[in-house]
Amino acid sequence: MRFDTRLVHAGQPPTPGSADLVPPIHVATVYDRFGQPDRRYFYGRGENPTREALEECLAALEEVPYATTFASGQAAAAAVLSLLTPGQTLVCSDDVYGGTHALFDAAARSGVRVTPWDLSLPDAGERLGDAAMVWVESPTNPLLKVTDLAAAARAAHDRGALLVVDNTLAGPALQQPATLGADIVLHSTSKSLAGHLDVIGGALAYHDPDLHARLRDYRTTFGNVPSPFDCHQIHRGLKTLALRVARQCDSARLLAEALQDEPSVSALRYPGLASHPQHRVAERQMRRPGSLLSFVYAGDPEALMRRVRLFAPAVSLGGVRSLIECPALMTHRPVPRPTRLRLGIDDHLIRVSAGIEDPDDLVGDLLAAVRAGGSAAR
């Protein structure tokens, strides 16, 4: 089956005996050990049919045999970091989601050597040293750097390291890192996969059965499982992923093009623009350039976010509603300011997540808000 067909059909077989085209939500926490033919199910913290249906679909979308879902993207990321032991080295993208920064800080306190590096640079593969794990976000959040994933996989595997790719910003509709060599693909399923800003979840996808066993055992031990209802919500959202992402990418491109000549906008970042440093890499490994853009605004970020009507000033991304945020005030506020500035996260950086509203309405709303602030000196 092609990708759009897998979105609708994978993990959705009719329920035996009912011909039900929408599988039910299995809420049971315990199972009759003698009432099931294969006795596969034991306790809801370990096994659940609704959760497994979602995992089957996610694995199919990333073109791997295995996927494991978690209660949040943070929980999924923490599970990956559990594979490291004190003294080992983690080389990671320097520009990552604010919550990932916090997880890396916790890993460092437990004895893991965490080495941030700009993995979008052409010579990044030469800087991996003795890494046991290489963690790539591509595109990154919020600067939208793009890493050559195939090159990163070769460099990591030459050192015997695992390559982890956080695919949250792009999602499987735009890129499939496992097909480019990634060992583990990470998702916050709260974002574009669920798509409606109404559920929290995370997932990992991979080829290796040993990794699958280790990460499932970790989840069962620590209990960070998603609820059956959350899994059902995410699986329902997946059915419209391709349609939503196509509209969002169209709108993001129009927004980026409209902002290019605005005098109060600088450092505009969108992988679909020829001016983006990794534009060619994005063209090669992504089907579309994505639904996010960021820029530095010469005016007051808070005033800008108060002026927009259609963009909700809120964190998260990839949903049907368009969102706007200032990372320094919101998602990356816990990151120390000197670190933010060193990474290029300006106090006036604005990140926009395009939703599925009419593209012309979005462009008009954002341009009006940008222009109303003028080009006041920063």
Confidence class for position 378, pLDDT limits 50, 70, 90: very low
Q: What is the mean pLDDT of the chain?
A: 95
Question: What confidence score (pLDDT) does residue 121 get?
Answer: 95
pLDDT tens, 252-288? 999 999 999 999 999 999 999 999 999 999 999 999 9
Whether 218 shows a pLDDT value over 70: the answer reads: yes
Q: Are residues 181 and 255 in the same domain?
A: no
Provide the pLDDT for residue 364: 98
Q: Is residue 228 domain-shared with residue 246, that is, in the same domain?
A: no
Decide if pLDDT at 146 tops 90: yes
pLDDT score, position 252: 98
99 and 87 in a single domain? The answer is yes
Mean pLDDT over 233-248 rounds to 97
- Do 92 and 229 belong together in one domain? yes
- Domain-located, residue 350: yes
Give the residues across from 163 on adjacent strands.
Answer: 134
Domain hosting residue 276, numbered range: 241-372
Same domain, 291 and 211: no
- pLDDT value of position 18: 78
Tell me the average pLDDT across 352-376: 92
Angle, helices 241-259 vs 359-372, to 10°: value is 40
Rounded to an integer, the average pLDDT of 170-181 is 98
* Percent of the chain predicted with pLDDT > 90: 88
234 and 273 fall within a common domain: no
- 16 in any annotated domain: yes
CA Rg, the chain, in Å? 21
Least confident of 107-121, 130-144, 241-255, 364-378: 364-378
Show which of 189, 205, 238 is a domain's final residue. 238
Of 190, 208, 238, which residue is a domain's last? 238
Query: Are residue 139 and residue 234 in the same domain, yes or no?
Result: yes
Q: Is residue 192 located within the same domain as residue 331? A: no
- pLDDT at residue number 114: 97
DSSP string, 79-121: HHHTT--TT-EEEEESS--HHHHHHHHHHHHTT-EEEEE-TTS
- In this structure, is residue 377 part of a structural domain? no
Same domain, 294 and 157: no
Residue 378 falls inside a structural domain = no
Sign, CA dihedral 226-227-229-232, equals positive
* In the chain, % of residues over pLDDT 70: 99
CB 96 within 8 A of CB 81: no
Least confident range from 19-23, 268-272, 357-361, 373-377: namely 373-377
Contact 278, 272 (CB under 8 A): no
pLDDT tier at 377, thresholds 50, 70, 90? very low
How far is 346 from 353, CA to CA, in rounded Å? Answer: 18
In sequence order, what E strands does the chain have?
A: 66-70, 89-93, 113-117, 131-137, 162-166, 184-187, 202-206, 265-269, 292-297, 312-313, 323-325, 349-353
- Residue 88 placed within a domain: yes
Same domain, 182 and 220: yes
Domain count, the chain: 2
Residue 45 lies in a domain: yes
Instruction: Tell me how far CA of residue 179 lies from CA of 207, 259, 268, 287, in angstroms.
Output: 10, 34, 30, 13
Q: Which of 187, 209, 238 is the last residue of a domain?
A: 238
- 198 within some domain: yes
133 and 152: one domain?
Answer: yes
Q: What is the CATH number of the domain that holds 53?
A: 3.40.640.10
Residues annotated as catalytic are 45, 97, 166, 191
Res 374: pLDDT: 65
Torsion sign over Cα 39, 43, 49, 51:
negative
Cβ–Cβ < 8 Å for 217, 204: no
46-57 confidence digits (pLDDT tens): 999 999 999 999
Residue 227 lies in a domain: yes
290 with 333, same domain? yes
Whichever domain contains 355, its CATH number is: 3.90.1150.10
